[in-house]
């Protein structure tokens, strides 16, 4: 059997980053105005984790599969690994750190705690942010099939779906009909 000798990989061009330049972005994160100079290729999830040190938003796949990175962008759930931070100029972003108010857990967080809707907890921030978005769109009276269907973009590798679904339904009921409420 012959093995072809691997060609040495070309060294990355030292000017690749330099030529990309930088850009300024201003947005409101969890109610706080922030402005930063960033590489235009920076993903929102990396901006939040590395620039803003908001590490509650997780990276599980980086390929838009797992939902660990879900945040709210102008009130709608997005997978922040698929969004360029530079495209969020002027936007409002809410992360898991922004849900609790005045030291009190958000009803959806409280429901996950109450129903033990987590095991390792890695998927939990994305699950909760997605769940709040479901309630904002569909109201607080959610049946099991709807919750399971709506959460299909969120993967729990601990497979704790039974308790997660129970937590989302309970949190939804506690939130009530928030479809008109602004974040």
Smallest gap from residue 122 Cβ to ligand FES (A): 4
Q: Determine the Cα–Cα distance for residues 120 and 110; give it in Å rounded to an integer.
A: 17
Nearest to 67 by CA among 160, 162, 155, 157: 155
CB 120 within 8 A of CB 163: no
Does 112 contact ligand FES by CB under 6 A?
no
Rounded to whole angstroms, the maximal C-alpha distance in the chain is 68
- Beta bridge pairs of residue 76: 73
Stretch near ligand FES under the rule CB under 6 A, chosen from 31-39, 65-73, 85-93, 134-142 = 65-73
Per-residue string for binding with ligand FES, 9-48, x by CB under 6 A?
----------------------------------------
Which of 98, 107, 125, 160 binds ligand FES (CB under 6 A)? It is 160
Q: Is 171 in the site for ligand FES (CB under 6 A)?
A: no
The residue among 137 and 162 lying less far from ligand FES, judged by its C-beta, is 162
Structure tokens at 12: 């990355």
Q: How big is the chain by its Cα radius of gyration, in Å? A: 19
Of the candidate spans 21-29, 105-113, 153-161, 171-179, the one that interacts with ligand FES by CB under 6 A turns out to be 153-161
Task: For residue 68, state whether it binds ligand FES (rule: CB under 6 A).
Answer: yes
The strand pairing partners of 79, in sequence order, are: 70
> What CA–CA distance (Å, rounded) separates 133 from 72?
8
Contact 115, 170 (CB under 8 A): yes
The stretch near ligand FES (CB under 6 A) out of 26-34, 62-70, 87-95, 175-183 is 62-70
Which residues contact ligand FES by CB under 6 A? 59-62, 64-69, 79, 81, 118-123, 156-158, 160
């Amino acid at each position: 059997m012959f093995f072809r000798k691997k060609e040495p990989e070309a060294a990355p061009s030292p000017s690749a980053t330099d030529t990309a330049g930088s850009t300024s972005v201003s947005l409101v994160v969890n109610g706080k105005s922030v402005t930063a100079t960033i590489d235009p290729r920076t993903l929102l999830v990396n901006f939040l984790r590395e620039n803003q040190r908001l590490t509650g938003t997780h990276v599980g796949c980086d390929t838009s599969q797992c939902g660990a990175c879900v945040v709210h962008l102008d009130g709608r759930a997005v997978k922040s690994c698929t969004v360029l931070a530079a495209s969020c100029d002027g936007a409002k972003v809410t992360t898991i750190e922004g849900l609790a108010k005045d030291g009190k857990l958000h009803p959806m967080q409280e429901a996950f705690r109450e129903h033990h809707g987590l095991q390792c907890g890695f998927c939990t921030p994305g699950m909760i942010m997605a769940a709040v978005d479901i309630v904002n769109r569909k109201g607080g009276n959610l049946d099991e099939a709807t919750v399971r269907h709506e959460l299909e973009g969120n993967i729990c590798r601990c497979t704790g779906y039974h308790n997660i679904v129970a937590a989302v339904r309970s949190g939804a009921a506690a939130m009530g009909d928030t479809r008109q409420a602004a974040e």
